[in-house]
Amino acid sequence: MRPDYLRPTLLTLTSIIIGVVGWSGHVLLLPVALGFPILWSMAQTRSVAASISAGYFLAASRGLPQGVAAFYSSDLWPGLLLWLCASLSFITVHTVLWTKSAGLLPSRYLLAAIIMAIPPFGITGWAHPVTAAGVLFPGWRWWGLGLMTAGLAGLVTRIWPAVAIALTGIWLWSAAFWTDPELPESWQGVDLELGVSLGREASLQRQRDLIAMVRTAAGDGAHFVVLPESALGFWTPTVERLWTDAFSGSDTTVIAGAAAVDADGYDNVLVAIDRKGGGILYRERMPVPGSMWQPWRSWLGESGGARADFFANPVVSIGARRAGPLICYEQLIVWPILQSMLHGPDFFVAVGNGWWTEGTSIVSIQRAATTAWAKLFAKPLVTAVNT
């Protein structure tokens, strides 16, 4: 290999390794992702910066092609196409903002980080290195986010070795005393293993089985029981009546995923049900682009697809407390979590339906990300996932 190709190749290969390891689904490995800005700053040309960015992002999101193939019951080509299209925003932002000027690199990288955290580019802002803040600075809240931001800027300066050593020391110290987020008092999440049938099998027996699971959790002392995304299927008056009647003599409140459908499309929602009745609690702010959120339908005068309520309902009231809800895809990107935190929730509720991710690390990555954010802001976390 020619010497002028050796350095770019090694940088790109290293970025791939960082993407794989940092986003392996193990929360304590998230700080590995901080190696990406170091490599990006080492690029000597814009094309090398693009190659490093592509290596990192494609490696971090490597489960997407297989997951999409499972979702659509098709071959890998649709997943590969979506994988490559989604990577374009990350690669483009980091390529355009790269510069040869060492003095401008920190501000350019911070600008790239901000752009990838908020819409429109933040819609596909997966694998954001700032997520590691929860591992390095658990409980530091906004101060921890500020320190993480300063650390990211420091990693693209000439003193990056000193910054990296300092962050590594903090990482090891944090890992030595790591504990997972606590459950909110009187809350319980119910994980299911019902595969593709969850939300699609509309039989009365399926609803009765779910009711029995909730009763079991309530029997263990939980007053609030959370079921995964799509657990109830379509939210209809009949489903509401069935569940309300089932808990008419109980003080249990059920939080469950469902789909609220109308003539124009549908909302991916969380509903709350107790002895007084049921209703929509939360409408997902950011459904999965492509498979759920399909904005081009309205542009073409067509109906269908999930609606995106980008900045709506960041927190919801449940009893006397406020929760920051996150449905599936929202756990992989930055702005829904930070927007919720700006409104001061008492805890996070994170649900998902990951049957289509079998054989990938997507569900584990979601868990790692939500765990890190909950630890950063010292908030309890309740999760419920179907696989």
The pLDDT tens digits for 85-124 are: 889 999 999 999 999 999 999 999 999 999 999 999 999 9
pLDDT for residue 68 is more than 80? no
pLDDT of 301 > 90? The answer is: no
84: three-class secondary structure by DSSP: helix
For the packed helices 105-115 and 76-96, what is the interaxial angle rounded to 10 degrees? 140
**Burial of 179 from C-beta contacts in 10 A (0-12 / 13-18 / 19+):** exposed
pLDDT at 70 over 80: no
pLDDT value at residue 72:
64
What is the average pLDDT across 142-166? 98
Which residues does residue 358 pair with via DSSP β-bridges, in sequence order? none
Least trusted range by pLDDT, from 25-29, 64-68, 235-239, 354-358: 64-68
Return the pLDDT at 3: 62
Tens digits of per-residue pLDDT, 221-252?
A: 899 999 999 999 999 999 999 999 999 989 99
pLDDT > 80? residue 378: yes
Distance CA(278)–CA(260), nearest Å, equals 13
Q: Is omega for the bond preceding 120 within 30 degrees of 0, making it cis? A: yes
Q: In a 10 Å sphere around its CB, with 0-12 CB exposed, 13-18 middle and 19+ buried, how is residue 269 labelled?
A: buried
- Residue-level length of the chain: 387
Percent of the chain clearing pLDDT 70 (strictly above): 96
- Distance (Å, whole) CA 333 – CA 327: 11
Reported confidence tier of residue 308, pLDDT bands at 50, 70, 90:
very high
For residue 231, the model assigns a pLDDT of 97
The tens digit of pLDDT for each residue in 163-186 reads: 999 999 999 999 999 999 999 999
CB 138 within 8 A of CB 179: no
pLDDT of residue 75: 64
141-154 and 105-115 helices, crossing angle to 10° = 130
Higher pLDDT, 298 or 309: 309
pLDDT at residue 79, rounded to an integer: 67
Q: Could you tell me if 238 and 248 are in contact, meaning their C-beta atoms sit under 8 angstroms apart?
A: no
Average pLDDT, whole number, for the chain?
A: 93
Number of Cβ within a 10 Å radius of residue 209: 13
139 CB neighbour count, 10 Å cutoff: 13
pLDDT for position 76: 67
